[in-house]
């Protein structure tokens, strides 16, 4: 903060840097001159000094906020992404940059301090035509974060599309057996074992090393992710809960016993690509490799394993995913129970006591 100085007249003066002016010279060069804003106060003594410094500080704060908010939303978004590149995951940064390049283009040229709720609603409406509700909510979350950084007093109240119910496919025991029969002895056998009976994520499987394994106990402490320059790197797990220990059954640990270095020599994308063809060869309906984790969770739930243990084993930080998995599993089970119930009622109605003579 600038310090006030006492003038010969007894008044106080405080100078604050305002801007730099460029002054053309006769020889064609440019001379830069720093311009200061002066504040004076005639009140004598320390009270006058404090008052003078307060005026200067207030003007400086307003100037900083004003210049900060005069930038376009696109520039503000660029700065927001850059300032968080070393904090957020590479995948999140990639999604932010994708939004910057492809979506909400109507907001990009508008100065931050001129953006209205109507501007945001209009941009969201345009993207909602061809993007899923989940993607729209992610984009709106980014808009909100940028505006909050530059205009903390501006509260958004945007109408967003309703969430769609996701139809999960949870593989059955028979599905998993078919998968394992199809990939027996191939490079995809171990990834499927680790996902279905771990359950481990693709990136965790690809980053797993021999030194992470002690007997049947696997320490999940790394995750393979793709950076913005399209290279694969290893970093910490997706979340705090992702750093965990998993005790695998012997039939799984026997498959990676004696291996050195990386246990699986594949990238996450290679696992996804190969998995699609494996499903076709096995004659199974399409589902994601990630759904093998849901299979593991649903089986544990069915045999009475407490949710807290299921969450710890799978690296889930909350029970939101588990509830979605269980709800789907219960819906499938309800069909079976309904058929059993109706069959029972049918048998009652078809007895000799209910047959008209």
Mind listing the pLDDT tens digit for each residue in 70-123? 688 999 999 899 888 877 888 888 899 999 999 999 999 998 888 999 999 999
pLDDT class of 152 with cuts at 50, 70, 90: confident
**H or E element that contains 295:** helix 291-302
Distance CA 256, CA 263 (A): 7
Q: What is the pLDDT of residue 193?
A: 95
Average pLDDT over every residue of 36-63: 84
- The percent of the chain in helix, strand and coil, each rounded to the nearest 5, is 55, 15, 35
Question: Is 80 exceeded by the pLDDT of residue 343?
Answer: no
Q: Which residues contact 178 (CB under 8 A, 6 or more apart)?
A: 282, 283, 284
- pTM score: 0.64
Average pLDDT over every residue of 263-267: 93
CA torsion through residues 194, 196, 197, 200, sign: positive
Domains of the chain: 5-69 (no CATH), 73-150 (1.10.150), 175-326 (1.10.443.10)
Highest mean pLDDT (candidates 5-9, 235-239, 325-329): 5-9
The residues that bridge with 209 in the sheet, in sequence order, are 262
Tell me the pLDDT tens digit for each residue of 182-239. 999 999 999 999 999 989 999 999 999 999 999 889 999 999 988 877 889 888 887 7
Q: What is the pLDDT of residue 350?
A: 65
Distance CA 107, CA 102 (A): 12
Report the candidate in 89, 328, 305, 327 with the shortest Cα–Cα distance to residue 199: 305
Give the chain's end-to-end CA distance (angstroms, integer).
Answer: 103
């Amino acid at each position: 903060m600038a310090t006030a100085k006492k003038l010969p007249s007894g008044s106080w003066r405080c100078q604050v840097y305002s801007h730099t002016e460029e002054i053309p010279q006769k020889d064609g060069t440019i001379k830069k001159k720093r311009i200061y804003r002066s504040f004076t106060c005639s009140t004598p003594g320390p009270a006058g000094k404090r008052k003078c410094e307060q005026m200067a500080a207030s003007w400086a704060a307003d100037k900083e906020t004003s210049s900060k908010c005069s930038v376009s939303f696109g520039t503000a978004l660029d700065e927001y992404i850059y300032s968080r590149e070393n904090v957020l995951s590479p995948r999140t940064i990639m999604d932010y940059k994708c939004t910057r390049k492809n979506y909400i283009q109507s907001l990009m040229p508008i100065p931050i301090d001129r953006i209205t709720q109507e501007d945001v609603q209009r941009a969201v409406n345009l993207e909602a035509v061809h993007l899923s509700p989940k993607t729209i909510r992610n984009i709106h979350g980014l808009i909100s974060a940028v505006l909050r950084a530059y205009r903390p007093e501006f509260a958004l109240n945007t109408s967003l599309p309703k969430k769609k119910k996701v139809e999960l496919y949870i593989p059955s025991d028979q599905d998993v057996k078919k998968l394992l029969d199809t990939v027996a002895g191939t490079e995809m056998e171990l990834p499927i074992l680790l996902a279905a009976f771990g359950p481990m994520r693709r990136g965790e499987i690809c980053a797993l090393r021999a030194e992470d394994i002690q007997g049947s106990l696997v320490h999940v402490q790394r995750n393979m992710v793709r950076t913005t320059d399209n290279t694969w790197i290893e970093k910490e797990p997706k979340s705090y809960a992702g750093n965990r220990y998993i005790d695998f059954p012997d039939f799984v640990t026997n498959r990676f016993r004696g291996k050195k270095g990386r246990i699986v020599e594949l990238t996450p994308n290679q696992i996804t690509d190969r998995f699609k063809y494996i499903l076709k060869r096995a004659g199974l309906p399409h589902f994601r490799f990630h759904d093998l984790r849901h299979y593991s969770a649903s089986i544990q739930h069915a045999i009475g394993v407490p949710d807290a243990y299921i969450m710890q084993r799978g690296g889930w930080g909350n029970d939101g995913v588990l509830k979605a998995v269980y709800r789907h599993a219960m819906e499938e089970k309800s069909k079976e129970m309904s058929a059993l119930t109706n069959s029972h009622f049918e048998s009652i109605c078809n007895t000799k006591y209910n047959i008209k003579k």
